[in-house]
Amino acid sequence: MASPSLIAIDAMGGDGGPAVMIAGAAIAAVKYPALRFRLFGDEAAMRAELARHPALEPRVELVHTDGVVSAEDKPSQAMRRAKSTSLGLAIAAVKSHEAGAAVSAGNTGAMMAMAKLALRTMKGIDRPALAALLPTLGDNDLVMLDLGANTECDAQNLVQFAVMGAAYARTVFGLTAPRVRLLNIGTEELKGTGELKAAAAQLREADDVGMRFDGFIEGDRLGTGEVDVVVTDGFSGNIALKAIEGTARFITDLLRRAFTSSIRSKAGFLISKPAMRLLKVHLDPNNHNGAVFLGLNGIVVKSHGGADAQGVANAIGVAAKLVSEDITRRIAQDLETFRSHAAPVVAA
């Protein structure tokens, strides 16, 4: 049985390395007083950063590793060195049930390959998917998957993603029946690929499985708050994610230019500063940080490589929440319920 209070952390991943990862753990430790941490990486570098956070030190175990997975490493290269790298050993701690979850801000492709090899996919899941939270105008964020783990998906993959995404949404949002939609080029039933149509047909046939399938959604409606889970293949999902992140940066940069263009604009900025602060909080990716690989026999959370300490703390919070709610068991139960309610549908 995995220790739910122990989180394994790859301290060497991401742009900030040990400085940001340990600072993030220190923030998370305040919010989650029951958590303990096992940090993997260069011991000297980790000790130097840990000295800046003396309150965290009693709750941390350091494990020295010589190897580090770089952003340039190919998944095949990383897998061959898994037993000697900070990322590989953090995931191994989940496999051995010593840790409840692993958190890293490192190489996404390597992380996916190493996690899949070590933890294997759950029974009833063909492929794991990368899921993340995105901001909306509604009462809660939305769960979107897949965001890049699988560039090509068949109808069965999409159906499985829907079941996993709904379980995730119920866990993080406390919803009884999350609203689920498939990302498509239109909302009409006749639009889209054969895989999308077949997946939609199968999802419409299922009821009482902890979700409400509402058909298709177009990309321009993702932020409206009318959906809780958006399902797509990893190719389209990654493009959509990068477009959303780019648009958020575009808006903030455009507003910054506008408010510094003249003395009158600067005065206007002072008046609207509270609203601007709220906008910044809503668009800041650090506040929605923490993507998870769903469908594995263990919890692995991916922090954005450029996340700050608060972003890392949020990713650790996602891991802690999924462990405490036993997301793997929930997904397994939902898959069994779904299979008993829905008949298989072949792609057109």
pLDDT tens by residue, 35-73: 999 999 999 999 999 999 999 999 999 999 998 888 888
Q: Per the structure block, which two tokens stand in for 169?
A: 């949404």
Residue 201 scores a pLDDT above 70: yes
- pLDDT number for residue 282: 52
H or E element: which one contains 31? helix 17-31
Q: Given 3.40.50.2300, 3.40.718.10, 3.40.50.10810, 1.10.10.10, which CATH number is that of 1-119?
A: 3.40.718.10
DSSP at 34:
T
Residue 292 scores a pLDDT above 50: yes
- pLDDT number for residue 1: 45
Q: Which of 16, 14, 36 is nearest to 316 (CA)?
A: 36
Distance, C-alpha 113 to centroid of its chain = 16
- What is the mean pLDDT of the segment spanning 108-115? 90
Backbone angles phi and psi of 185, in degrees to 5: -85, 0
Please name the residue that has the structure tokens 């191994």.
92
Instruction: Write the burial class of residue 279 (CB in 10 Å: 0-12 exposed, 13-18 middle, 19+ buried).
Output: middle
- pLDDT number for residue 257: 74
Q: Per the structure block, which two tokens stand in for 313?
A: 């703390």
Q: Which of 52, 61, 3 is nearest to 24 (CA)?
A: 52
- pLDDT number for residue 171: 86
- pLDDT number for residue 9: 96
Residues 244 and 144: beta-carbon distance below 8 Å: no
- Would you say the CATH fold of 124-293+324-348 matches that of 1-119? yes
The domain ranges of the chain are 1-119, 124-293+324-348
- pLDDT number for residue 259: 66
Mean pLDDT of the chain: 86
Residue 118 scores a pLDDT above 60: yes
Q: What percent of the chain has pLDDT over 70?
A: 87
Q: Which of 12, 2, 6 is nearest to 28 (CA)?
A: 6
Residue 346 scores a pLDDT above 80: no
140 pLDDT band, cuts 50/70/90, is: confident
Residue 317 scores a pLDDT above 90: yes
For residues 332 and 124, give the distance between their C-alpha atoms in angstroms, rounded to a whole number. 8
Residue 145 scores a pLDDT above 90: yes
pTM across the whole model: 0.84
CATH code of 124-293+324-348, in short, is 3.40.718.10
Give the pLDDT confidence of 253-281 residue by residue, as tens digits: 777 776 676 666 666 555 555 655 655 55
- What is the mean pLDDT of the segment spanning 283-296? 79
- pLDDT number for residue 208: 64
Neighbouring CB atoms inside 10 A of 224's CB total 12
Backbone angles phi and psi of 104, in degrees to 5: -150, 150
Residues 6 or more apart whose Cβ sits within 8 Å of residue 240:
144, 183, 219, 222, 232
248 pLDDT band, cuts 50/70/90, is: confident
DSSP at 84:
G
Q: Which of 231, 215, 221, 222 is nearest to 158 (CA)?
A: 231
Long-range contacts of 55-58 (CB under 8 A, 24+ apart): 55/26, 55/29, 56/22, 56/25, 56/26, 56/29
- pLDDT number for residue 338: 79
